[in-house]
Amino acid sequence: YLSRTHLSSFLTFTIKNYKINKQNILGKLPIPPFENITLKIKDVKYANKSSLAIPESIYQKIHQHIHTLQNDIRNTFIIMSAIACRINELEYINEDSLKYNKDKKYYELSFFVSKTQHSQTKKGRKSFRTVPIDDKEVIDAFYDQVKLTKQLRKSSNLKSIFLYATMNRKIKVIDKTRYAANINSLIKKYNIVDENNKLWHFTTHQLRATITTKLAESGYRSDEIMQFMGWQDKSTIEQAYIQLKK
């Protein structure tokens, strides 16, 4: 259950940013004494547009043309689309991060999450996320990235597979500026526009909001979404259409 404080914050956020109608159900919030409250959403307005979930049609068009970009940008997009990581967490993904689980019969990708390190350490836990991977495209992108950065990792002593060499030959972990700029160049080149015929503006955090939305719309419970996304409490509400359940 959400606390009264969390409910109040959520209702304030919803009233402020969403239009209410009778068509689309956001979800029931089972919190006494408001057990049967159902919020209904039509047009979602975001307080922070950098966290806007990418509409399916736009995502598919980006994905359709992603192969036209440099291999490392393509691989980054494919992998981030699957694991919903933050851009800074790419630093902690190395060649040993992806392993095949023989018991579960699928791959798992594990990586360190610095944002939750303090809270997890207090609980005696390690701050890691493990995400199941059963998509061949994602697995292929991972191993292609391992191959692409083999020499960069060797010469720099850095472990991340998301490395690139700058114009002045410095080796760095891919950053949000370079990554987003490449995706936005693709969007401009192929004229990928929203429903208002405006070019979509991509930011690195949008894939997290997109995956959150898809999980919610697929009927996953809030605790399941929290676990997948690596959130610590139910007060975390991404700037996306989220269905809250018990």
pLDDT at residue number 218? 80
- Check if the beta carbon of residue 110 is closer than 8 Å to that of residue 97: yes
More confident of the two residues 89 and 7 = 89
Per-residue DSSP letters for 162-196? -EEE-TT--EEE--HHHHHHHHHHHHHHTT-B-TT
Residues whose CB is less than 8 angstroms from the CB of residue 234 and which lie 6 or more positions away in sequence, other chains included: 2, 6, 222, 226, 244
pLDDT at residue number 116? 55
The rounded mean pLDDT for the chain is: 76
Residue 149 in tokens = 């950065």
For 154-209, write each residue's pLDDT tens digit: 999 999 999 999 989 899 999 899 999 999 999 999 999 999 999 999 999 898 88
Checking if the pLDDT of 41 tops 50, the result is: no
Checking if the pLDDT of 130 tops 80, the result is: yes
pLDDT at residue number 47? 41
For 202-244, write each residue's pLDDT tens digit: 999 898 888 887 887 787 777 777 777 776 665 554 444 443 3
Q: Which of 41-50, 70-79, 108-117, 221-230 is the least confident region?
A: 41-50
Query: 70: part of which helix (H) or strand (E)?
Result: none
Query: 98: part of which helix (H) or strand (E)?
Result: strand 98-101
pLDDT at residue number 225? 77
- Check if the beta carbon of residue 145 is closer than 8 Å to that of residue 79: yes
pLDDT at residue number 214? 81
Residue 173 in tokens = 């972990």
Residues whose CB is less than 8 angstroms from the CB of residue 81 and which lie 6 or more positions away in sequence, other chains included: 59, 63, 138, 207, 210, 211
Q: Which of 65-79, 138-152, 221-235 is the least confident region?
A: 221-235
* Runs of H (alpha helix) within the chain: 4-17, 56-65, 71-83, 117-122, 136-148, 150-156, 176-189, 206-217, 222-229
